[in-house]
Amino acid sequence: MTKRTRKSHLADRQRLAETLKDAYDFDPRDPLVGLTRDQLSGSSLDRRTVLRLMAAGGTLTAASLLPGIGGPGTAHAQAGGTLTCGWAGVGELTTLDPHQINQVLLFQISSNIFGGLTHIDANLVAQGDLAESWTISDDGRIYTFKLREGVTFHNGDAFTADDVIYTYNRAIDPEKSIHGAVVGNVASVDKLNDLEVQFTLKAAQASFLVKSLERSSGRAMAIVSRGAIEQMGDQEYGLTPVGTGPFKVLPRQLGQGVTLEKFENYYDPERPKLDKVVIRPIIDAEPLAAAMEAGDIQLIGGNPVAPELVDRFLANPDLVVDEVAAPGFQSVWMNPHRDPFKVADFNKSVDELKQEPGFKVRLAIAKALDRERYIKQAQFGRGRPAFGTINPAMGFFFDEALNESSEQTFDIDAAKQLLADAGYPDGQGFPEIKILTTPAQRREVQVIANILSRNLNIKISLDTKDFPVLIDDFNSMRWDMCRLGSGGDFDPDDGLVDWMRSDSKFNGRTRDKEAMPFGFFADAKVDALIDEQRIAPSLDERKRLVQEANKITSDKVASAFLFHPADIQVRSTRVNFPAESRIPGLVDLDRVTIS
């Protein structure tokens, strides 16, 4: 190390220490952790505010403050060049129209093409994207955004408040968009002037900036180009969409993947760094691995990398394997309207529920589900046990203690006792039940069946169906057990509102409502807590309410929560992927460089 770099290294260390000290400089009893309301909601969150929130949530480490991933094998590249990516687990990138896409692997791409009013950062906190700043009314219902000046679409059209309104109107048109519900809480959108727009909500919604306006996760409000849509038509727009994002899409044919090119007039002149990004869909795991090892591709995006490949990648000195918590949860659902899981009403205390045979069986299965063993055998050690919908990528809201405090905590003896109390001592007389799954998940669901068979001496057979059939059955509650979960959950609402409310969109949406008054779970207290957290006056209060609701769903076995997946990014050592772009679940390439 030269004298000069040693000096700069010391300066870096000192700066790091000072930043850490400042982040933790607050009274832990203060609900606003030493921040003002303006700092929290008045504009895009600054670095200091984010670091303070991370410190309060216990997720801040020195590593979070480093500018890049660091460590051996990190590339130190200049701007320019072409990055070729393999998009895992997908045969075709059909449409990139944000109003039509519903897969994480597609909004990973659209996030590089479109801008939104906000965009989450690596800590899942909303930052201004096309919105420069915003104010929120005291009742939390009116959001006024000041738009970034001088932003243009890829086709040269200027971005104004009219585009926000056009995007909103297209998002709520069921013929054009499948995401109308994401902005279902919006009462109106009004243009104040070319660079100011106002959203009025029907009710306050704490998740509005992340869940409804975020450019990738919400999809509804990824800003689309009216001029391009009118010129190209909806179908062509899906193939080569025009947005305001860092990359533009080159003309393409279906089946040929997608090539993105640097958008020279992006609002941040420092981004994007790469000249070109080539995205190739690769459906099978082995060819994907071979393409990576051959150097045909330098980064893997798309569906999660097959866990059985991770150790192989780790052993390759030319590759970097970067693992963070993924924003999602996976569960084993039990139908409360079918034996032996019957529960007529969840609106009782846990102790009261424990008197019912159906609940005893549910709890027995949840407690016998050896999640560590499952993760080791089915996920090759990647991921962490889940006890609720709130995932560890949400850092601030995640309840670290739930694995100890939940009724679902692994306890084989208690599980056996519960099963015996329900009338099935050592599994005797337990009916043969089926677990609904897809062909792709057969292997890992077999692991679940084996664990339960080994621990409770019960027999569970697999009922394998194509995904559209599984979804149809799941929505109609035509299943004994079902293995299903959620990804792209960036806000607590993605877990609680979407899954755990009695009227949530996944909760037996198309069931026979006369025969089944509720879906897989319904609890009035959980509903009330979910409603309350949406209008919580402070982040700490919201966190408390979220964690309380989460714990009830866990204790009352809304499902046997299984695991939180890991987001594993594999890339060549030639690729420098800065930490600030490492947003769980996404593949933002605007700051990425290649040597």
* Residues of the shown chain interacting with other proteins in the complex, contacts defined by CB under 8 A: 86, 91-92, 94-95, 100, 102, 174-175, 177-181, 184, 234-235, 238-239, 253-257, 280-284, 286-287, 290-291, 293-296, 465-469, 471-472, 475, 498, 504-506, 509
Q: Which is nearer to other proteins, 149 or 311 (CB)?
A: 311
Q: Which is nearer to other proteins, 100 or 216 (CB)?
A: 100
| Nearest distance in Å: CB 548, other proteins | 24
Label residue 140 left, alpha or beta by phi (over 0 means left) and psi (-120 to 50 means alpha). Answer: left
| Nearest distance in Å: CB 239, other proteins | 7
Contact call for residues 570 and 390 (beta carbons, < 8 A): no
Q: Which H, E and C letters describe 481-543, residue by residue?
A: EEEEEECCCCCHHHHHHHHHCCCCCCCCCCCCCCCCCCCCCCCHHHHHHHHHHHCCCCHHHHH
SS3 content of the chain, % helix, strand, coil (to 5): 35, 20, 45
| Nearest distance in Å: CB 477, other proteins | 14
CA distance to 300, 330, 377, 395, 412, per residue, from 371 (Å): 27, 11, 10, 21, 12
Measure the CA–CA gap between 26 and 24, rounded to whole angstroms.
6
Q: Which is nearer to other proteins, 18 or 173 (CB)?
A: 173
| Nearest distance in Å: CB 357, other proteins | 32
Measure the CA–CA gap between 124 and 134, rounded to whole angstroms.
18
| Nearest distance in Å: CB 427, other proteins | 31
| Nearest distance in Å: CB 493, other proteins | 12
Q: Which is nearer to other proteins, 175 or 351 (CB)?
A: 175
Measure the CA–CA gap between 549 and 495, rounded to whole angstroms.
11
Q: Which is nearer to other proteins, 348 or 509 (CB)?
A: 509
CA distance to 64, 387, 418, per residue, from 406 (Å): 30, 7, 16
Q: Which is nearer to other proteins, 92 or 352 (CB)?
A: 92
Task: Kindly report the length of the chain.
Answer: 595
| Nearest distance in Å: CB 111, other proteins | 16
Is residue 258 within a helix (H) or strand (E), and if so which, with residue range?
strand 258-262
Q: Which is nearer to other proteins, 372 or 472 (CB)?
A: 472
Q: Which is nearer to other proteins, 482 or 557 (CB)?
A: 482
| Nearest distance in Å: CB 509, other proteins | 8
**How distant is the alpha carbon of residue 461 from its chain centre?**
30
Measure the CA–CA gap between 409 and 370, rounded to whole angstroms.
9
